[in-house]
Amino acid sequence: MITETCDNVQGGDMVTALLEHDHLVDASRLFCATTERKCSVPEESGSQSNVQTCVYVFQREYAIVDPARVKIVGTDEATTCVGIVIRNSISGMTSCAHLDSPDVVDIGLSQMLSLVSDSDDEAILDVHLVGAFDDSAQGNDDDGSEQYSEMDGYSFPLCIKIVEKLDESKLKFQIQNFQVLKNNTRWDSEGNAYPIFHGLLVETSSGSVVPASFDRSTRCPDEILRRIRLGASFENPRLAGRLLDTYETQADRFVIKPFSWSMRQVHIASVMRHRSDLEILLTTSTSPTAEVPDFVDNQKRVWEYLIQHPDWKEAFPSKAPRVFKRTGGTSWEMSSE
């Protein structure tokens, strides 16, 4: 169950109903009126003591956090992707993921719910979705109404799949924020569409969700390897349809299991690093005109690492996982365990 508005409707009609739902329209207006929270670690020494414990989620990753251990969890860099939060209103257990394709929704939502839901728990599971701006080619009709087709862009099919999967569940979901598609889109004077927000964070103790962006100091630990792992996962059939599991909830640590990258990826990196920024955007992005400012730089840093370290075993000596323990709010150190 997600909302009474969606009873007996399917797919695109369900998404359209949610976009027009009074409660969600009001929630979107409030969300848009909220100042985006910019997450960054101050450079001054000793500043870590004032930084709240945080877990950051990259594209196609998920993390389930315990509010007793983690105060903030979030994600950003979403254009046609969806940042999704599911929170148990009784226990406060909170799951956050960055969904990038309908292909990962079925298994991915099950992964997200593994420690959040309980078959005997009557708690309402609050759901927040942010991202997936309106990238449809059709856009607005002459009468100003918004019409979508399942063939339009990347965002709409992903939103359909998420909503359908929630609606099929026997669990009690309540969508609190539906900041996607037209609710998360602004247009310039020439009619070009852009996301209003690229990310979100949730304060786990209260369940408050606000728009957010993260800088490099908070997208950790092991940023570059986690970005490389995303690309490598597409070549690993064992990971098909699954979100990438990185964070261990009870231990409050990150564990990046050994993975390999191919010489094909290294070759692509060698070629792509010489391309212009525009060529990189057109080649690697689902929304070239709407990416975050550091998108191209992040791609270049990934390619540079692959070129400097063509053998994946350098990152995983003896094929051991890379384990990171927390040393501060967003600071981590690699452990030998």
pLDDT digits (tens, 9 = 90+) for 41-69: 765 544 444 468 999 999 999 999 999 99
Q: Looking at residue 137, what is its pLDDT?
A: 56
**Residue 165, burial from CB neighbour count under 10 angstroms (0-12, 13-18, 19+):** middle
**Among the listed residues 130, 133, 166, 118, the one whose alpha carbon sits nearest the alpha carbon of residue 5:** 166
Phi, psi of 229 (to 5 degrees): -60, -35
CB-CB contact of 131 with 156 (8 Å): no
Q: How many CB atoms lie within 10 A of CB 154?
A: 18
pLDDT per position as a tens digit, 166-217:
999 989 999 999 999 999 999 999 889 999 999 999 999 999 999 999 999 8
The CA distance from 59 to 71, in Å, is: 21
The CA distance from 294 to 77, in Å, is: 9
- Total residue length of the chain: 337
**pTM for this prediction:** 0.91
Q: Looking at residue 43, what is its pLDDT?
A: 58
What is the architecture of the domain spanning 10-36+53-137+152-335?
Answer: 2-Layer Sandwich (3.30)
Q: Which two three-digit tokens encode residue 300?
A: 């270049």
Q: Looking at residue 136, what is its pLDDT?
A: 86
Contacts of 78 (CB under 8 A, 6+ apart): 59, 98, 130, 131, 132, 195, 198, 199
Contacts of 331 (CB under 8 A, 6+ apart): 41, 48, 51, 220
- The partner residues of 127 in beta bridges, in order of sequence, read 86, 175
Q: Looking at residue 118, what is its pLDDT?
A: 74
Which portions of the chain are predicted below pLDDT 70?
A: 1-9, 42-51, 119-121, 137-152, 337
Q: Looking at residue 50, what is its pLDDT?
A: 47
Q: Are strands 244-245 and 208-214 parallel, antiparallel or unpaired?
A: unpaired
Q: Looking at residue 337, what is its pLDDT?
A: 66
